[in-house]
Structure 1
Amino acid sequence: MDKITEIIREVSAEEIAPRFGQLEESDIDTKSHAMDLVTIADTEAERVLTRRFCDLLPGSVALGEEAAHADPKLPERVFSNDAPVWIIDPVDGTKNFAHHRQPFRCMVALYHGDETVAAWIIDPIEGSATVAEKGAGTLHNGSPVHVRSNIQVTKDAKGFLISFARDRILKHYGHLDFFDEVAHYSCCGAEYQEIAQGLFDFCAYRNLKPWDHAPGTLLVREAGGVAKYITATGSDEYHANGNAPGLLCASSPELWAEMSEILLPLFG
């Protein structure tokens, strides 16, 4: 675990941090739409991380966000064999990074035996790290952290909702008064970190790419929280190779159940 943390910090210091606030127009490109950005920091950090991780663990393969954009069949191939998979989001929050804003994070998960077994979310500028190993809990900068499991009703909960969810809630219910506080960082990694540390209580997402959620869901689960798909049964745990209309993480089963009841009509 410590070796991977060290590698991510080193690559972040070499490929990401020096480019923050220093990008030229030619260093930024778009992918699926005008707001879906990629920078030279994304591509170079992913390239180096892929090489170093696969060298460290012979026989492993990598599933990076940028590699998957270039080759849409890549996720299917890597999940169809038994090799350990490094799931890499080199710069989560690229839009923030490209516009010289915080937060943004470097996120990595290790997937093996049909499950996510380890995860790292690191601030490329400060170097702070939140890490989790399946069955061993979640650590932030080396100290154990836990969700706010005492938060069991939405009126006491602070959380993160994407614009899709906020807009649908307002249209369907006419208000956002279900919650104590709602925020949105445009950076899944930072949001997952703050839930695992007990600073916020829930998050909900619609676009469920594995590099966006495999690391963070493990952090939340190992810190004592819940990470399940928004479905009628409410019984399907998040899986890096799965999909559903939406994903909801919460700091307690009771909060998850009430949040799911609110969101289910909007994510179906």
Structure 2
Amino acid sequence: MTPTLEQLDATADLMLAVADEAILPCFRRLGPQDVRAKSSAIDLVTVADEAAERLLTARLPALFPGALVIGEEAVARDEGLLEALDGSGLVILVDPVDGTRNFASGLSLFGVMVAFLAGGRVLASVICDPVGRDWAMARRGGGAWVRHRDGRRERLRAAKARPVSEMEGCGLWLNLDEPARSRVAVGLTAFASNAAYRCAAQEYRLIASGHYDFALYHKLAPWDHAPGVLLHEEAGGYCAHLDGQPYDPRRRTGGLLSAPDAASWHAIRHALQLAPAAAALAREPEPAA
């Protein structure tokens, strides 16, 4: 059931074609009527998100007959669609524009993400950079790589373990509640640097290629993390919920921390003062996607 390399390449080509058709023509050309808020003022959707999702939902089944395609915007209308993640059939998760705030602001830090799952397990993923015109791809047991626009494939390698004081992180405290938010803010001073790109697609590409050491997230929408977690793990990295359990795309609570390896993961969690709060975070209700 895991997509073949040829199927992933076809998916990648389709994603860029859809971006060229529905996303890039809107880039830096959105009017006020083309953008609206969903759950909050910083949770946006644009006409490009909706158009790209419609096209991917319509066209992906031609490559994967019988698969169920679930997009972020469809779940915003009917969260019950996510119950399909418990089934044994192939599910294709689609994030039509990840980094919508950046996209709507005219910043080129956004991406298109697709993940393939069965039985709650991520099998493969593709993250497309429509502006850079390349793809980060992963296949469970087959590694992670970048497919460049000229067809070259370059293996991805997560960062090697090093002392906390030399580490750089991304993702960070967005959506964290108190008191964990304040503890993390203090804990970040133990690291060399930190950044937030408001785009999981680009952040996961950075940690999977070793340019950042770790990423911390709290909100767990599956389309935001299923593609990137597999990419990072297949690049040699380690990821787990803050209670230490392996990443499960069906979970909506419990935070998520990616690191170079298990020892680094524990060192980062300790430095960010998240270990005492792990159980509480796992119980916190998440806002709707």
Unaligned ranges ≥5, structure 2:
1-7, 148-152, 281-289
Q: For residues 79 and 255 of structure 1, do their structure 2 counterparts lie closer, same or farther at Cα, with a shift above 3 Å needed? A: same
1:165, distance to aligned residue in structure 2 (A) = 5.3
**Identity within the alignment, %:** 35
Q: How many residues align?
A: 263
Alpha-carbon contact 1:169-1:176 (below 8 Å) kept: no
1:154 to 164, 168, 174: 164
Equivalence for 1:35: 42
The within-5 A match list for 1:85-124 is 85-124=91-130
Query: What is the SS of the residue equivalent to 2:188?
Result: coil
1:259 to 246, 260, 268: 268
**Residue 196 of structure 2 corresponds to residue 184 of structure 1:** yes
Equivalence for 1:60: 67
Moved more, 155-164 or 122-131: 155-164
Calculate the aligned-residue CA RMSD, in Å. Answer: 1.8
1:243, distance to aligned residue in structure 2 (A) = 3.5
Distance in 1, Cα, partners of 2:158 & 2:178: 27
The within-5 A match list for 1:1-268 is 1-76=8-83, 78-141=84-147, 142-151=153-162, 153-160=163-170, 161-164=172-175, 171-172=182-183, 174=186, 176-231=188-243, 234=244, 236-261=245-270, 262-267=273-278, 268=280
CA deviations over 1:24-59 (Å, ceiling 9, x no partner): 111111111121100011001011111111121111
Query: What is the SS of the residue equivalent to 2:189?
Result: coil
Unaligned ranges ≥5, structure 1:
none
Q: TM-score, normalised by structure 1?
A: 0.93
CA deviations over 1:205-238 (Å, ceiling 9, x no partner): 110010000000000000000110001xx2x110
Could you tell me which amino acid in structure 2 is paired with residue 215 of structure 1? Answer: P
Q: TM-score, normalised by structure 2?
A: 0.86
CA deviations over 1:171-228 (Å, ceiling 9, x no partner): 3374632111100000011000000001001001110010000000000000000110
Distance in 1, Cα, partners of 2:120 & 2:137: 20
Could you tell me which amino acid in structure 2 is paired with residue 257 of structure 1? Answer: H
1:63, distance to aligned residue in structure 2 (A) = 1.4
Could you tell me which amino acid in structure 2 is paired with residue 30 of structure 1? Answer: A
